[in-house]
């Protein structure tokens, strides 16, 4: 870039901020991740494949990604309903409920894990009636699912809330006066307008649930092949000094997570592109 | 289709938005609700549309009780000030919306919907924008699409809430003419809300002037301009010179100076004299009811506007033809050609 062009730039500070951005991202994210990949290169492809195709690894990955996705979907539905209630209605205690949504952000995950375990254990407040129905939550995959829902919910709520707040109430009135039923208005007008935010919330809740460790290990029971999550398996391999095994699982988690989040991001961009800025 | 509103009252908390409003709109009319913000005009429109509900009173559309129906059943076309287009749908789908959400039993088939949307886009002269999204259109284009969308359901009546309020002056003027022509073409009974008197006078067959939740005057555009019923209407429509006067024994006094004006049977007491700027005729000093000195003169298109300090101390602005020679410093006589005096 010529000196003249550089001087003409209306927004100064590009060089400085871009430099800081790259340095910071490198130190915090890229270099540790590169280390991870380098470490995994110590394995031959055959060893790599053997680790990944072992039954225990596959089951751990299935538990982690499967339950995280299921929990994110539940959070998407319930989070949207919570957002609707918080934004659209005025009721006593609304601000309190609004604040409570953030609790999973701040609570140490181990505390959440212990609390959920106590609650859903066979003699717990919720665990006892569920046990009477023959449903066991604590120390089963269902427990992992509950913990993942708990830690994911604020991501959906906080992403969708501002978008719903900004939604022009006129579009609902317009839909109504054009003859749309309440249901048609929600399906055809409100949900499509919220779609980009909903997808972002889904992706964030999913990413959080995949990476969750603290709360899950307390409630999971951690039975290999049944209720053992991939992050726990990594820790177990580390404690057995099988660093290469741990790295291989970590690499796969990283790649799969990245692919999924990137795909959701593209989907979200596509939905957004259909709603150009005013 | 006729619209009739009887003794409508609506309060928001302690604010009286509508304070006993009666209005009858005949079939095929284009009526303007004109008033300053807070006068209740938008509230009245929204109640007719079914988007708001009155505390008491009646709304009849074509003689039927409209308050028994929700917005959905009233079959009313509503155009919003900020368009309220569906941003995730193309222009085509926006216009088609009202047709697609109809109950299956009466819904048109796809070909008929396409034909109808095409027809409406032709009517608003924007058929070439069918595949765009609202975010890609200008304000004027968006409002025309919003109008096409409202007309798609073949509404019994058409209600427009400050339809040109968010547009710039030039586009507003174009759209005004266009709306009047469109109304002549489709002649659906319409009410539009505006705070712009020029818009009301230019577009409407009949103007309803509102203030503080009440109707001040209903009349033709000429009527409300030439024969304002109240001081508010005189002051709100057109530019007025307002002078505080005193009525006593059938004479009118400005300060301690008697004016050669007829009091017209007004009760004695403090009153206000209203004169249009262009109705103040300029004559030689000593002629006319007023005398004053010209402070300065500026040209405004076809007229010149002079600021005049009256001998009583008040300063007024008058409009005179450009060929009348006026110079700052001159003393002139002024005679109101037409005027109104309102008590209070």
Among B292, B304, B301, which Cα is nearest to B329's? B292
Report yes or no for ipTM above 0.85.
no
Residue A25 touches partner B, C-beta closer than 8 Å:
no
Residue B138 touches partner A, C-beta closer than 8 Å:
no
Q: Which 8-state DSSP code applies to residue A91? A: -
| DSSP conformation letters of B4-72 | EEEEEEEEETTEEEEEEEEEEE-TT-EEEEE--TTSSHHHHHHHHHTSS--SEEEEEETTEEGGGS-HH
Q: Which residue of A has its CA nearest to B132?
A: A274
For residue B127, give every residue at least 6 positions away whose Cβ sits within 8 Å of its Cβ, in sequence order, or none. Answer: B118, B121
Asked whether the predicted pLDDT for residue B264 surpasses 80, the reply is no
Q: Report in angstroms the alpha-carbon separations of B228 from A18, A238, B234, B339.
A: 66, 90, 5, 11
Q: Do the Cβ atoms of A178 and B97 come within 8 Å?
A: yes
Residue B191 touches partner A, C-beta closer than 8 Å:
no
Average predicted confidence (pLDDT) for chain B: 89
Q: Give B284's pLDDT tier (boundaries 50, 70, 90).
A: confident
Q: Which residue of A has its CA nearest to B73?
A: A179
Closest CB from A178, A274, A277 relative to B88? A274
Q: How many whole angstroms separate alpha carbon A258 and alpha carbon A176? A: 41
| DSSP conformation letters of B284-334 | STT-SSEEEEEEEEEEETTEEEEEEEETTS-EEEEEEETTS---TT-EEEE
Q: In what order do the strands lie in the sheet with B240-248?
A: B257-259, B251-254, B240-248, B269-276, B340-343
Q: Which 8-state DSSP code applies to residue B274? A: E
Closest CB from B87, B149, B152 relative to A193? B87
- The phi and psi torsions of B126 (rounded to 5 degrees) equal -130, 30
Q: How many whole angstroms separate alpha carbon B108 and alpha carbon A179? A: 14
pLDDT computed for residue A114 by the predictor? 92
| DSSP conformation letters of B193-261 | EES-HHHHHHH-SEEEEEETTEEEEEE-HHHHHHS-SSHHHHHHSS-EEEEEEEEETTEEEETTEEES-
Region of residue B11 (left: phi > 0; alpha: psi -120 to 50; beta: else): beta
* Token representation of residue B272: 């206000």
Q: Residue B139: how many CA atoms within 13 Å on its side-chain side?
A: 15
Residue A165 touches partner B, C-beta closer than 8 Å:
no
**Is the separation of the CB atoms in B43 and B7 below 8 Å?**
no
Q: Which residues of chain B are within 8 Å of residue A193 when distances are taken between CB atoms?
A: 86-88
Mutate which of A169, A177, A188 to disrupt the B interface (most B C-beta within 10 Å)? Answer: A177
pLDDT computed for residue A82 by the predictor? 95
Ranges in chain A, pLDDT < 70: 1-9, 274-278
Residue A276 touches partner B, C-beta closer than 8 Å:
yes
Residue A270 touches partner B, C-beta closer than 8 Å:
no
Q: Do the Cβ atoms of A174 and B50 come within 8 Å?
A: no
Q: Per-residue pLDDT averaged across B103-128, rounded?
A: 91
Q: How many whole angstroms separate alpha carbon B318 and alpha carbon A203? A: 68
Q: Which residues of chain B are within 8 Å of residue A177 when distances are taken between CB atoms?
A: 49-51, 71-72, 74, 76-78, 150
Write out pLDDT tens, residues B156-192: 999 999 998 888 888 888 888 888 988 998 889 999 9
For residue A111, give every residue at least 6 positions away whose Cβ sits within 8 Å of its Cβ, in sequence order, or none. Answer: none
Q: Which 8-state DSSP code applies to residue A151? A: H
Residue B51 touches partner A, C-beta closer than 8 Å:
yes
Q: Which residues of chain A are within 8 Å of residue B139 when distances are taken between CB atoms?
A: none
Among A237, A261, A272, which Cα is nearest to A57's? A237
Closest CB from A184, A195, A275 relative to B135? A275
Q: Report in angstroms the alpha-carbon separations of A121 from A153, A212, A271, B167.
A: 22, 20, 42, 63
**Is the separation of the CB atoms in B79 and B158 below 8 Å?**
yes
Closest CB from B87, B98, B136 relative to A178? B98
Q: How many whole angstroms separate alpha carbon B249 and alpha carbon B268? A: 7
pLDDT computed for residue B254 by the predictor? 81
pLDDT computed for residue A155 by the predictor? 94
**Model confidence, pTM:** 0.81
Q: In what order do the strands lie in the sheet with B206-211?
A: B76-79, B157-161, B189-194, B30-34, B206-211, B214-219
* Token representation of residue B46: 């929204």
Q: Per-residue pLDDT averaged across B23-28, rounded?
A: 93
Coil/strand/helix, residue A230: helix
Mutate which of B47, B49, B72 to disrupt the A interface (most A C-beta within 10 Å)? Answer: B72
Q: Which residues of chain B are within 8 Å of residue A278 when distances are taken between CB atoms?
A: 87, 135
Q: Which residue of B has its CA nearest to A189?
A: B86
Q: Give B55's pLDDT tier (boundaries 50, 70, 90).
A: very high
Q: Do the Cβ atoms of A176 and B72 come within 8 Å?
A: yes
């Amino acid at each position: 870039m010529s000196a003249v062009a550089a001087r003409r730039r209306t927004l100064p500070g590009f060089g400085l901020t871009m430099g800081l951005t790259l340095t910071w991202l490198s130190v915090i994210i890229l270099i540790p991740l590169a280390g991870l990949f380098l470490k995994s290169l110590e394995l031959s492809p055959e060893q790599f494949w053997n680790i990944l195709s072992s039954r225990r690894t596959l089951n751990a990955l299935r538990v982690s990604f499967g339950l995280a996705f299921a929990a994110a979907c539940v959070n998407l539905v319930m989070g949207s309903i919570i957002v609707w209630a918080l934004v659209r209605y005025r009721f006593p205690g609304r601000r309190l409920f609004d604040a409570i949504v953030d609790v999973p952000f701040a609570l140490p995950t181990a505390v959440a894990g212990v609390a959920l375990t106590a609650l859903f254990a066979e003699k717990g407040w919720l665990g006892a009636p569920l046990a009477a129905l023959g449903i066991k939550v604590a120390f089963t995959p269902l427990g992992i699912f509950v913990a993942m829902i708990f830690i994911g919910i604020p991501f959906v709520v906080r992403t969708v809330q501002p978008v719903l707040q900004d939604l022009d109430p006129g579009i609902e009135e317009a839909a109504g006066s054009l003859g749309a039923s309440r249901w048609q208005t929600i399906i055809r007008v409100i949900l499509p307008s919220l779609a980009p935010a909903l997808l972002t919330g889904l992706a964030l809740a999913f990413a959080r649930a995949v990476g969750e460790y603290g709360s899950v290990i307390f409630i999971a029971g951690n039975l290999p092949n049944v209720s053992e999550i991939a992050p726990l398996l990594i820790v177990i391999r580390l404690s057995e000094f099988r660093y290469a095994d741990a790295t291989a699982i970590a690499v796969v988690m990283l790649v799969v997570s990245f692919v999924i989040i990137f795909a959701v991001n593209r989907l979200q961009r596509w939905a957004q592109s259909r709603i150009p800025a005013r | 289709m006729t619209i009739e509103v009887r003794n409508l009252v609506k309060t928001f908390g302690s604010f009286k938005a509508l304070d006993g409003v009666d209005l009858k709109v005949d079939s095929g009319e284009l009526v303007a609700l004109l008033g300053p913000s807070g006068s209740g005009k938008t509230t009245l429109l929204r109640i007719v549309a079914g988007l708001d509900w009155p505390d008491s009173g009646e709304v009849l559309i074509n003689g039927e009780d409209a308050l028994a129906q929700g917005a959905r059943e009233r079959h009313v076309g509503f155009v919003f000030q900020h368009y309220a287009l569906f941003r995730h749908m193309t222009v085509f789908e926006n216009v088609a919306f009202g047709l697609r959400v109809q109950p299956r039993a009466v819904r048109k088939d796809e070909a008929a919907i396409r034909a109808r949307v095409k027809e409406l886009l032709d009517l608003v002269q924007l058929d070439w924008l069918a595949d765009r999204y609202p975010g890609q259109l200008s304000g004027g284009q968006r409002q025309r699409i919003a109008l096409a969308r409202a007309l798609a359901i073949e509404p019994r009546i058409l209600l427009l809430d400050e339809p040109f309020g968010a547009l710039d002056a030039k586009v507003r003027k174009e759209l005004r003419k266009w709306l009047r022509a469109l109304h002549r073409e489709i002649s659906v009974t319409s009410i539009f809300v505006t705070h712009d008197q020029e818009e009301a006078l230019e577009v409407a067959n009949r103007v309803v002037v509102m203030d503080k939740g009440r109707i001040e005057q209903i009349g033709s555009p000429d009527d409300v301009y030439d024969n304002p019923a109240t001081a508010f209407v005189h002051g709100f429509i057109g530019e007025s010179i307002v002078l505080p006067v005193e009525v006593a024994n059938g004479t009118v006094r400005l300060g301690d100076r008697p004016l050669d004006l007829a009091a017209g049977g007004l009760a004695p007491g403090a009153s206000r004299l209203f004169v249009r700027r262009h109705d103040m005729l300029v004559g030689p000093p000593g002629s006319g009811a007023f005398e004053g000195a010209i402070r300065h003169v500026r040209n405004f298109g076809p007229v010149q506007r002079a600021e005049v300090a009256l001998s009583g101390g008040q300063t007024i602005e008058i409009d005179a033809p450009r060929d009348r020679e006026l110079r700052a410093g001159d003393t002139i006589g002024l005679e109101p050609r037409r005027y109104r005096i309102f008590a209070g």
